[in-house]
């Protein structure tokens, strides 16, 4: 059957149709479709408000002449449907934009990175007969690599809807009022601790309010009363935001007072005490803020499911995989040193807790980890675990995922652009063809070197599997797959990659940027393990690091502090500080 012929033999054969009262997202979607069709054809396309004699690509409300109203699409779902010679794209406020990008991808466009798009030049643009309805399983999809935090229009092309401040005309985003570890914000000790130390967690007979490391006493009635008012004030001050996190600070030290201890023991997990606290706040504020989700963490000491407490319908539990191995899938990993110990002494792997929460939690989100945070450049052999882990999340009732990446303001070098692209595809559809995405990306982004980048990825993962390496989120580069001998093998592949693109300046630039990962690990291991600090090697690395515009090598300190630590035989610059967050941001 005939589809919609949009362009042929230099002639524009279709127009882009909007309703007279089209919303701002529909207008943006139309302008994006126009722009890319013009790039593909080299001819001007028209956006019209009334249908003429030409076939149309109707967007948003205008598409309802061809597509029945579907109230199950939400904000992110869309339908693409041909109707005779016409084509309709209908969806939610983000979905109508996503539908346009889906159509463009079907026509051969690829949105690989904020600075790398593949736009084919075509002599004929035709959409065959199509009916495609897509609604993502995950309502919340986030990744924090710098390409997403800095380039919010690229976030939309990647179909992510959180962890970036997306303009409303571009579809907007799911926004938190407080984003995790909010006990400090709820009850600052400088305000309450002097007169009411009992508001804070009792740990080993003391209430550590004079340091940064404190939690709250969650069974104290005044703490609950103050927390409700603080949350109410925050929600009133942020009327457009729909999630607020009520969650423990980023360390241990849950309260050991008699009331908290008794409830922890009854529930079999400190998560029970936390859920009781968050539920009480959510119940108190539900009528006033019916659209708000009250979010908390299942993290470290709160990771295990409580025996009895269950999150209310307006409470979200965000489970964190921080203890897990990432070189193996959660379902296959057999490193029981990473298991968590329950209050009754039993041990559980992360996959056990994922399954347990999935059975009892109506809205569960995930905080997952995708790089080495202690040493950002370190090759992270998680390429083969990304998809099975995403499938495990979806199979266990997860509704939202934050994939934490390198948070440095200028990114890093461990093929992060490729990993981010693959993750964005998985967040939309856990069943997506990962190998196809990797091939398409590497062939275009790295040119003739793409085949060798794939060879390197496979060699890296094969080597980690050969030595059965279990790789965590914060490991020093001491694993067997990073030995001097193996670094030589990886470097030899990069030699082939560089040779393949000798005449291609941009691809060579990208190849040598990626090779910095190998150079960093070699330099760091020599300094730390062999006690060899070669000034020329070190200066050459840091000169290139700066030349590529990079900032921090470690999540929590600037590159200058990493250099200082390297010369002093320390693994990390954080060792210069009493607390790992002591240094601050990238800038001086």
CATH number of the domain encompassing residue 65: 3.30.379.10
> What pLDDT was estimated at residue 164?
87
Residue-level pLDDT at 137:
98
Closest C-alpha among 465, 459, 368, 450 to residue 417: 450
- Which of 377, 342, 331 is CA-nearest to residue 518? 377
Residues 13 and 125 occupy one common structural domain: yes
Count other C-beta atoms under 10 Å from residue 262's C-beta: 12
Residue 514: burial class (beta carbons within 10 Å; 0-12, 13-18, 19+): buried
Residue range 283-308, pLDDT digits in tens: 999 999 999 999 999 999 999 999 99
- 113 and 23 in one domain? yes
Question: Which of 296, 319, 342 is the last residue in one of the domains?
Answer: 319
* Inter-helix orientation angle 386-395/416-428, to 10°: 30
Kindly state whether residues 304 and 194 are assigned to the same domain: yes
Q: Is residue 53 part of a domain?
A: yes
259, 294, 319 — which closes off a domain? 319
Give residues with Cβ within 8 angstroms of 483, minimum separation 6: none
3-state secondary structure 261-330: HHHHHHHCCHHHHHHHHHHHHHHHHCCCCCCCEEEEEECHHHCCCCCCCCCCCCEEEEEECCCCCCCCCC
* Cα 418 to Cα 170, 372, 422, 450, 561, distances in angstroms: 24, 16, 6, 11, 28
147 vs 482: CA distance, rounded Å: 28
pLDDT of residue 500: 98
Per-residue pLDDT, 503: 95
Q: Is residue 575 part of a domain?
A: no
My answer on whether 300 and 219 are in the same domain is yes
Angstrom distance (rounded) from CA 294 to CA 304: 19
Which residues contact residue 446 at a Cβ distance below 8 angstroms, ignoring those fewer than 6 apart?
Answer: 452, 453, 497, 501, 507, 510, 511
Measured distance CA(150)–CA(114) in Å, rounded: 9
**Is residue 447 included in any domain, yes or no?**
no
Question: How high is the pLDDT of residue 212?
Answer: 63
Cα–Cα dist 88/65, whole Å: 8
Residue 35 counted as domain residue: yes
pLDDT of res. 579: 83
Within this chain, do residues 182 and 48 fall inside the same structural domain, yes or no? no
Last residue of a domain, one of 289, 319, 349: 319
The C-alpha atoms of residue 466 and residue 314 are separated, in whole angstroms, by 46
Residue 342 inside a domain? The answer is: no
How many domains does the structure of the chain reveal?
2
- Closest listed residue to residue 272, CA positions, set 367, 392, 360: 360
- Domain match, 293 and 217 both: yes
Looking at the fold, whether 199 and 267 belong to one and the same domain comes out as: yes
Q: Would you give per-residue pLDDT tens digits along the chain (588 residues)?
A: 578 999 999 999 999 999 999 999 999 999 999 999 999 999 999 999 999 999 999 999 999 999 999 999 999 999 999 999 999 999 999 999 999 999 999 999 999 999 999 999 999 999 999 999 999 999 999 999 999 989 999 999 999 999 889 999 999 999 999 999 999 999 999 899 999 999 999 999 988 765 568 999 999 999 999 999 999 999 999 998 999 999 999 999 999 999 999 999 999 999 999 999 999 999 999 999 999 999 999 999 999 999 999 999 999 999 999 999 999 999 999 999 999 888 888 889 999 999 999 999 999 999 999 999 999 999 999 999 999 999 999 999 999 999 999 999 999 999 999 999 999 999 999 999 999 999 999 999 999 999 999 999 999 999 999 999 999 999 999 999 999 999 999 999 999 999 999 999 999 999 999 999 999 999 999 999 999 999 999 999 999 999 999 999 999 999 999 999 999 999 999 999 988 888 976 654
Tell me the two tokens of residue 112. 């690989």
Kindly report the backbone phi and psi dihedral angles of residue 375, in degrees, each rounded to the nearest multiple of 5, phi listed first: -140, 80
Instruction: Kindly state the tokens that stand for 108.
Output: 């051969």
182/307 same-domain check = yes
Q: Say if 378 falls within a structural domain.
A: no
Task: Please report the beta strands in 321-416, taking only residues with DSSP state E, as ranges in sequence order.
Answer: 340-341, 347-348, 364-369, 398-404
pLDDT of res. 213: 81
**Assigned domain for 550 exists:** no
Calpha distance 126→45 (Å, rounded)? 15
* Whole-number pLDDT of residue 343: 81
pLDDT value, residue 588: 43
Q: Are residues 130 and 228 in the same domain?
A: no
Tokens representing 149 are: 């935090």
Q: Do 14 and 73 belong to one domain?
A: yes
Token pair for 185: 């914000």
Report yes or no on 432 lying in a domain. no
- Residues 95 and 182 grouped into a single domain: no
Neighbours of 516 (CB within 10 A): 19
pLDDT of residue 209: 62
For 52, how many CA atoms within 13 A lie in the half-sphere containing its CB? 9
| 185 and 89 fall within a common domain | no
Domain span at 295: 176-319
């Amino acid at each position: 059957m005939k589809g919609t012929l949009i362009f042929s033999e230099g002639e524009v054969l279709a127009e882009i149709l909007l309703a007279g009262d089209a919303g701002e997202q529909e207008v943006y979607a139309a302008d994006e479709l126009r722009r890319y069709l013009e790039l593909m054809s080299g001819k001007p396309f028209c956006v019209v408000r009334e249908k003429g004699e030409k076939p149309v690509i109707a967007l948003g409300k205008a598409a309802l002449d061809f597509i029945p109203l579907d109230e199950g699409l939400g904000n992110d779902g869309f339908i693409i449907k041909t109707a005779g010679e016409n084509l309709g794209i209908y969806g939610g406020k983000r979905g109508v934009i996503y539908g346009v990008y889906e159509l463009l991808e079907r026509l051969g466009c690829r949105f690989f990175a904020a600075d790398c798009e593949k736009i084919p030049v075509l002599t004929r643009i035709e959409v065959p007969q199509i009916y495609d309805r897509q609604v993502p399983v995950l309502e919340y999809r986030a990744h924090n690599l710098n390409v997403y935090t800095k380039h919010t229009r690229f976030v939309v092309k990647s179909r992510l809807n959180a962890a970036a401040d997306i303009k409303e005309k571009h579809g907007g985003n799911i926004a938190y009022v407080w984003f995790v570890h909010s006990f400090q914000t709820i009850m600052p000790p400088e305000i309450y601790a002097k007169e009411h130390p009992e508001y804070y967690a009792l740990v080993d007979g003391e209430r550590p309010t004079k340091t940064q490391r404190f939690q709250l006493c969650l069974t104290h009635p005044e703490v609950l009363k103050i927390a409700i008012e603080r949350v109410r004030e925050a929600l009133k001050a942020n009327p457009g935001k729909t999630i607020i996190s009520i969650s423990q600070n980023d360390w241990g030290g849950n309260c050991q007072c008699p009331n908290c201890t008794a409830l922890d023991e009854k529930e079999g997990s400190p998560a029970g005490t936390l859920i009781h606290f968050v539920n009480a706040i959510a119940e108190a504020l539900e009528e006033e803020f019916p659209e708000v989700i009250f979010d908390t963490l299942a993290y470290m000491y709160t990771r295990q499911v409580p025996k009895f407490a269950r999150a209310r319908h307006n409470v979200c539990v965000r489970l964190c995989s921080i203890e897990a191995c990432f070189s193996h899938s959660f379902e296959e990993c057999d490193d029981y040193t990473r298991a968590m110990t329950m209050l009754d002494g039993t041990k559980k792997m992360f996959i056990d807790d994922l399954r347990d929460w999935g059975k009892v939690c109506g809205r569960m989100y995930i905080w997952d980890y995708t790089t080495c945070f202690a040493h950002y450049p370190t090759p992270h052999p998680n390429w083969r675990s990304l998809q099975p882990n995403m499938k495990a999340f979806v199979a266990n009732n997860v509704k939202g995922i934050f994939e934490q990446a390198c948070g440095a303001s200028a990114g890093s070098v461990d093929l992060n652009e490729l990993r981010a692209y693959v993750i964005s595809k998985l967040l939309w559809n856990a069943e997506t063809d990962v190998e196809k995405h990797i091939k398409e990306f590497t062939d275009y982004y790295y040119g003739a070197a793409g085949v060798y980048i794939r060879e390197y990825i496979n060699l890296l993962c094969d080597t980690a599997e050969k030595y059965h390496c279990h790789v965590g989120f914060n490991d020093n580069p001491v694993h067997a797959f990073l030995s001097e001998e193996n670094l030589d093998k990886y470097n030899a592949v990069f030699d082939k990659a560089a040779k393949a693109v000798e005449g291609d300046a941009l691809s060579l630039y990208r190849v040598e940027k990626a090779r910095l990962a190998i150079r960093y690990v070699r330099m760091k291991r020599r300094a730390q393990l062999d006690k060899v600090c070669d000034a020329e090697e070190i200066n050459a690395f840091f000169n290139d690091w700066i030349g590529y515009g990079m900032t921090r090598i470690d999540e929590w300190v600037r590159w200058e502090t990493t250099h200082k630590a390297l010369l002093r035989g320390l693994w990390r610059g954080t060792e210069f500080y009493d607390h790992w967050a002591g240094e601050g941001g990238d800038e001086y």
